[in-house]
Amino acid sequence: MSATAPRPAVVTDFSLVTGLSQTKKPLQRRISAMAGMYADQEAARRLAEEDVLVYEFFDMGVPQSSGEVAYGTSITYPGKVGDEYFMTKGHFHSVLDTAEIYYCLRGRGLMMMENPEGDVQWEEFTPGQGVYVPGRYAHRSINTSPDEPLITFFAFPGHAGHDYGTIESKGFRKIVVERDGAPAVVDNPKWAQ
Ligand SMILES: O=P(O)(O)OC[C@H]1O[C@H](O)[C@H](O)[C@@H](O)[C@@H]1O
Ligand SMILES: [Fe+2]
């Protein structure tokens, strides 16, 4: 197909209530796929027995080239592992200097970000608010609501890729836990330099 051949526009549906599409299947991550990432290993092991669904998201299959925009919704369910809120695995982009935008459609939560030099930032997710994650920052969504899913719409350059290895082995420097009934950002006891 030549570069100037017509390409069809793509129309998608994402529910503002569930974040899900009626026409596409999401990818799902259960606690067993990320149990080692939570600080309270005993609590993670107990939840892994029921293999609770922590989050789901869409890979719309956009070509992985720099002119394309990969997009979809990400739905992180409410819940905690011990006192640590449910979260996504989180990742750097393989092409480190590529950014990503998240727009919150429903729920409450935080976007946790850190760069390889150790700068840590977090921003609140609330419906109608977007968080622009700059290039070079690993990012993880965290649901701090007791009962609502955190639903975001995301978009990033098609060639960005996902680098999970660094976060899987080191973790993020900060985690988000419930303290006296409210979310608190604290040092990650499992963080490895
Ligand atoms: O990739 P994870 O850290 O598991 O998070 C799941 C998904 O969440 C996001 O919304 C990203 O934009 C996706 O690219 C990502 O794959
Ligand atoms: Fe990303």
ipTM of the complex as predicted: 0.93
What local confidence, expressed as pLDDT, does residue 3 receive? 76
Contact 149, 77 (CB under 8 A): yes
Domain presence at residue 12: no
Q: What is the distance in A from the centroid of ligand 2 to the CA of 19?
A: 18
Residue 5 within a domain: no
For residue 90, give the nearest of 114, 107, 73 by alpha carbon.
114
Percentage of residues of the chain with pLDDT beyond 90? 96
The rounded percent of the chain whose pLDDT value lies above 70 is 99
90 lines ligand 1 (CB under 6 A): yes
Residue 193 confidence (pLDDT)? 73
Q: CA-to-CA distance for 91 and 166, rounded, in angstroms?
A: 8
Atom 4 in ligand 1: which residue has the minimum CA distance?
89
Q: Which amino acid is at 105?
A: L
Task: Please tell me the total count of domains within the chain.
Answer: 1
Domain containing 37 equals 27-187
CATH of the domain at 98: 2.60.120.10
> What average pLDDT does the segment 151-171 reach?
97
161 lies in some domain: yes
Nearest-atom number in ligand 1 for the CA of 29 is: 4
> How far apart are the CA of 25 and the centre of ligand 1, in A?
15
**Is the pLDDT at 108 greater than 80, yes or no?**
yes
Distance CA 153, CA 190 (A): 30
Give pLDDT tens digits for 173-183.
999 999 999 99
**Confidence band of 1 (pLDDT split at 50, 70, 90):** low
Does residue 7 belong to any structural domain of this protein? no
Q: pLDDT tens across 60-83, in order?
A: 999 999 999 999 999 999 999 999
Task: State the distance from the centre of ligand 1 to the C-alpha of 55, rounded, in angstroms.
Answer: 9
The whole-number average pLDDT for the span 98-126 is 98
Asked if residue 120 belongs to a domain, the reply is yes
The answer to whether residue 11 sits within a structural domain is no
Give the model's pLDDT for residue 192.
82
For ligand 2, an ion, list residues with CB under 5 A: 100
Chain mean pLDDT for the chain: 96
Decide if pLDDT at 29 tops 60.
Answer: yes
Among candidates 73, 87, 92, 72, which has minimal Cα distance to 31? 87
For residues 157-183, average pLDDT: 97
Over residues 26-44, mean pLDDT:
96
